[in-house]
Amino acid sequence: MAATAVGDIINTRESNKSSKRQVAAWQQQTGLEAQRQAEYRARAQQALDRAIGKYGPGEQEKAFGDLVGRREADISGNVTEAAPGGIPISSDAPNVVKTTAAGKLNKAVADGREGAKRLARLGARDDQSLANQIGLKTAGRDIGVASNFAAASAGINPVEQAAAFRGAYRDPSGLGDLFKLFGQGASLYGFMGAPGLGGGGGASAPLPGWQQGGGK
């Protein structure tokens, strides 16, 4: 009886330890998945924050100003300066002719510069629109990639949890069953008696109808 009880205790303890290992493995895998999901959310949030910071009103005005400046520098460089003697007029020409020609030249240069500025702003607006489209698509792509990874990870996590749960299982050592077998054998031995002595170890009872020493 005692050996059987010890066997039951050993089996119960081993079963409990195995169950605890399995639960711990499952919880660990769950924690790893939670960590991965947090990383994917952080990546998506970073992409969104970059987009908000880059394409907000203040940043857009600043970026547009930089684009206009570069455009103006490129275009205005092609506008000729109004220099004295730039118009081939005879030195004998009246002063009024010279003055009028110089004034028209200066106006033409000024108009050219204003036109260059307008053209620069128009080109800068196109540059910014194209850059915004590319940037926003890139941000959307980054957010989409992070979301897809998160969904894929969440989908496969149950399989990982089940694998971790099964992997943490340990077969019983068999020691408990050995004690139980020993206890059952001892009980049977006590019930049947020692071999050759009869049940209970006492003298065998005479068969009914037979006398001691043989004969009826």
Spatial separation of the C-alpha atoms in residues 156 and 79, rounded to whole Å: 65
Higher pLDDT, residue 199 or 3? 3
**Mean of pLDDT over the chain:** 73
Contacts of residue 121, defined as CB under 8 A and 6 or more positions apart, other chains included, come to 68, 71
Structure confidence at residue 86 (pLDDT):
53
In a domain, 22, yes or no: yes
Structural domain includes residue 112:
yes
| pLDDT at position 147 | 92
Indicate whether 214 belongs to any domain: no
Judged by phi (left if over 0) then psi (alpha if -120 to 50, else beta), residue 57 lies in: alpha
Q: What are phi and psi of 83, to 5 degrees?
A: -110, 145
Q: Say if 58 falls within a structural domain.
A: yes
Structure tokens belonging to residue 95: 């002063």
Q: What is the pLDDT of residues 170-186, one digit of tens each?
A: 766 555 555 455 555 55
Domain of residue 31: give its range.
2-190
By the 8 A CB rule, do 40 and 146 touch?
Answer: yes
Q: Is residue 207 part of a domain?
A: no
Contact 168, 25 (CB under 8 A): yes
For residue 207, what pLDDT is reported? 44
Residue 97 belongs to some domain of the structure = yes
Q: Which residues, 6 or more positions from 168, have their beta carbon under 8 angstroms from its beta carbon?
A: 18, 21, 22, 24, 25, 26
Number of domains in the chain: 1
Residue with the two structure tokens 């033409």: 108
Residue 187: pLDDT band with limits 50, 70, 90: low
Question: Does residue 66 lie in a domain region?
Answer: yes
Name the pLDDT band for 37 (thresholds 50, 70, 90): very high
Q: What pLDDT score does 198 carry?
A: 46
User: Does the structure show a pLDDT above 60 at 83?
Assistant: no
For the ranges 18-27, 102-111, 154-163, 170-179, which has the lowest average pLDDT? 170-179
The answer as to whether 131 is a domain residue is yes
- pLDDT tens by residue, 125-180: 888 888 888 888 999 999 999 999 999 999 989 988 888 888 777 766 555 555 45
